[in-house]
A and B are shown apart, each in its own frame.
Chain A
Amino acid sequence: MIMQTLEIQKVHKSFGSLKVLEDVSLTIEKGKFAAIVGPSGCGKSTLLRMVAGLERPDEGTVQADGKTIDHPSPRRMMIFQEHALYPWLTVGENVEMGLELAGISKEERRNRAQKVLKTVGLEGFYHYYPSQLSGGMRQRVSIARALVMDPDVLLLDEPYGALDAMTRLTMQNELLKIWEGSGKTMLLITHDIDEALYLADRIFVMSARPGKLVRTIDLDLPRPRNRHGQRIGELRQEIMQLLGLEE
């Protein structure tokens, strides 16, 4: 299977008179876990939406494997902040949505959905409605909905922003398990510095208004990482200084 290298070059974007992104360039290699951290208003979500194909840059290029991204593709799945499940569909039907759109047979859809639901720990919830699940479980369903498409790239837009702290930590570990050995390219948007440090191989730090890339940090720490390790502590301090959160 061809995995995708994501390349963003000299991207500018404005909404009306509001400049959201200014001259942003970054590269994410195939199979790597990358994270973008920054305050709200730094345009990180806009950047992610461009990679998803939901938004176009005013200037510059956004490419996957050398091809310009100009529309959404099931090869690049996005996981939204608000789980965004369809309330009128059951868990199983939500997960199967993409397969159904692609015209895959009912039996195969069902098999694949059951398998993915097992991966995210929701075996037996196939016939439940989203309203019957907790916040963490809903987000697991939305991850399953993306995974079932077997995408090359997973784009995560603050997926755990709406969850409580404990659930968030559990979900981070689950995400690592899903990613490790899968060869998928991950791009995570977060304003949680610790989340980025715990998960990512490469962290892009952005500043706000207009959104600019201020630093790229490569981490080659083995996983599972110690959230309180020395190197993580130093990097946390560095990022906080960059964002003006600490002297």
Chain B
Amino acid sequence: MQKMNSQTWKKVWPYAAAIGTLLLIWQITAFFSPPYLLPGVPAVLERLGAGITEPEFLTSLKESLFRLVVGYPSACLLGGLLGLLAGLSRGFAVYLRSLIAILQSIPPITWIPFLIILFGFGNVPIITVIIIASFFPMALSVMNATEGINRTHLEVAKVLGATKGQLLRKVYLPETLPSFITGAQVAFGNAWRSLIASEMVGGASSGLGFSIKFAGEVAQMTDVLMYIVIIGLIAAFFDHVILEWLKRRMLKWRYIGGAK
């Protein structure tokens, strides 16, 4: 039992140390600053405890999560599909790479004014930016995996009598699944960043990005810090808990012990 604990601790301490360092720097700086300029960790945590039950905050959170939950999976689906097609057709791969190269040289947030004029304020411009920002890591990852598929795995299936559709479902999909998940993790970072940024630059008058900008405008430093912590926590939760869990579940075979 003692051994188990020490092993868990071995895994956990780097994370704990990283979080601890940041909080420590914050707290030390807060000692030398007036509280209205930089409130300490306890003050912000206290505000956080109270803040997460306030209706304004809950609405804000709900709005942001809604945009994320619509935009991010759409981007993953679109990216995965395009990547798979590109992996199967060389011509389409060149086309997709060029398209992505162009889109990548334009920061996604740049589309906001354009989209607002086109669609008006609200969810549509923000969700569109999320999709633009996060479909391509998925597409590139899946495209590379599809191009590099194990030829023998395909031939085995052909010999066993697989049709084209069966090849896709039984070989291409499972073999590219690890890349789907890596792509989805990178895409999530992009989606989250562009979501908050879009809300900040005025895509909508609600959401976490809007709330933090508003708190900044009225110089509410405690609220600004509270939103920073929340935005960080949500992203960490999605990336390290939900996506990681999904990965372990879907790629069970990868986490099974080595040769016996």
Is B one of A's binding partners? yes
- Residues on A lying within 8 angstroms of B by beta carbon are 52-54, 72-74, 76-78, 80, 82, 84, 86-89, 97-98, 100-102, 129, 131-134, 145, 149
**CA–CA, A101 to B163, complex, Å?**
8
Interface residues of A, dominant DSSP: loop
The one of A78, A86, A89 that contacts B159, using a Cβ cutoff of 8 Å = A78
Q: Using A131-B253, A131-B256 as known contacts, say yes or no to A82 and B152 having CB atoms under 8 A apart.
A: yes
B residues in contact with A77, CB < 8 Å: 159-160
Whether A88 lies near B156 (C-beta < 8 A) is: no
- Residues on B lying within 8 angstroms of A by beta carbon are 150, 152-153, 155-163, 166, 170-171, 174-175, 177, 251, 253-254, 256-260
Whether A131 lies near B152 (C-beta < 8 A) is: no
Given contacts A72-B159, A97-B156, A101-B162, 15 further A-B contacts (CB under 8 A): A53-B159, A74-B159, A74-B161, A77-B160, A78-B156, A84-B152, A84-B153, A86-B156, A86-B174, A88-B175, A97-B157, A98-B161, A101-B161, A131-B257, A132-B259
A residues in contact with B259, CB < 8 Å: 131-134
Shortest A128–chain B CB gap in Å is 8
Whether A98 lies near B258 (C-beta < 8 A) is: no
Interface residues of B, dominant DSSP: helix
Shortest A144–chain B CB gap in Å is 13
B residues in contact with A82, CB < 8 Å: 152
Task: Kindly list the 8 A-B residue pairs having the minimum CB-CB distance in the complex, ordered from nearest.
Answer: A98-B160, A84-B152, A74-B161, A72-B159, A88-B174, A129-B253, A72-B158, A88-B253
The one of B177, B257, B260 that contacts A134, using a Cβ cutoff of 8 Å = B260
Whether B260 lies near A86 (C-beta < 8 A) is: no
**CA–CA, A131 to B157, complex, Å?**
20
Shortest A116–chain B CB gap in Å is 14
**CA–CA, A52 to B259, complex, Å?**
31
**CA–CA, A213 to B259, complex, Å?**
40
The one of A80, A86, A149 that contacts B155, using a Cβ cutoff of 8 Å = A80
Whether A133 lies near B260 (C-beta < 8 A) is: yes
B residues in contact with A98, CB < 8 Å: 160-161
